[in-house]
Amino acid sequence: MLDNRRTEGRDGTMAEALDSSQHAHARQGLKVIGREGAPLAERSDENLMLSHGEGSDAAFAELLRRHQRGIMNYIFRMVQNRQIAEELTQEVFLALVKNAERYQPTAKFTTYLYTIASNIVSKEWLRRKRRPKFFTMSTLFNRNKDEEFNALEHFEDEKADVMTSFQRGEVSEAVNEALRHLPEHQREVFVLRRFQDLSYEEISEVTGVPVGTAKSRVVRAERALRPLLSKFREYL
């Protein structure tokens, strides 16, 4: 069951969606330095977002370059449908554009970004519960090879770089099949921790649960996944 903080009628603006998180961090705001003059690649996410709020398309392009792959991977593992994942990823970055002028760096940019993504995924889960299913796992993983989306190719992983194409596909399919067996709240914290490398503090802010709860959900998820992925332990 989804957390009570997530409701279908929730306002889509992320300024309001992150209001409570921003207040919690107001006492310890991030220090933003070097926003003017530094090359885009050397600037922090927070600086880039502030520049984007001032109208810099180049700053937004750099944010997109840094984070599109990670957001796409996260969403795909949540919804397990390539087309929907692509659409929701677009929604995430459109939300950045929509709220750019109101952005304040009171939390890490990745926390802000994944909170947007988490809320968008939650709305998709709610929509999915209210409509007939129009795809199955067999159609998802038995498409033409040219059309197959391989989630392992959408996040930076040194182990993935040395794996053969067959191994990548086999592991990717096994991971996603295993994730289907997890409750949504466990799946989310596991993916945020294991694949997106967010801290437990960040996961707590993104999901709206205490740090201890986030940790316990990851432990339960790992316990449930262990027998399903024992064959691929060296890659995970």
What is the predicted pLDDT for the residue at 140? Answer: 42
13 pLDDT tier (thresholds 50, 70, 90): very low
Contacts of 2 by beta carbon, 8 Å cutoff, 6+ apart: 122, 125, 126, 184, 185
Domains of the chain: 14-235 (1.10.1740.10)
Amino acid at 167: Q
Q: Give 63-86 pLDDT, tens digit per residue.
A: 999 999 999 999 999 998 999 999
Q: How far is CA 138 from CA 80, 106, 146, 199, 228, in A?
A: 12, 44, 16, 34, 18
pLDDT at 38: 77
The answer on pLDDT for 56 being more than 70 is: yes
Q: Is the model's pLDDT at 167 over the cut of 80?
A: no
Q: What percent of the chain has pLDDT over 70?
A: 66
- pLDDT bin (cut points 50, 70, 90) of residue 154 is very low
* pLDDT value for 171: 74
Tell me the pLDDT tens digit for each residue of 90-133.
Answer: 999 999 999 999 999 988 999 999 999 999 999 998 887 776 55
pLDDT given for residue 203 in this prediction: 97
At residue 201, the 3 state secondary structure works out as helix
Contact 118, 209 (CB under 8 A): no
The pLDDT score that the predictor gives to residue 155 is 41
> What is the chain's percent helix, strand, coil content, to nearest 5?
70, 0, 30
Q: Is the pLDDT of residue 236 over 80?
A: no
pLDDT of residue 37: 64
Which pLDDT score, from 0 to 100, does residue 216 have?
97
Mean pLDDT of the chain: 77
- Can you give the pTM of this predicted structure? 0.69
pLDDT of the residue at 148: 43
Alpha carbon distance 178, 213 (integer Å): 22
Instruction: Write the DSSP assignment of 22-83 as a string of letters.
Output: HHHHGGGPPP----SSS-GGGS-HHHHHHHHHTT-HHHHHHHHHHHHHHHHHHHHHHH--HH
Summarised one tens digit per residue, pLDDT across range 192-233 is 999 999 999 999 999 999 999 999 999 999 999 988 888 776
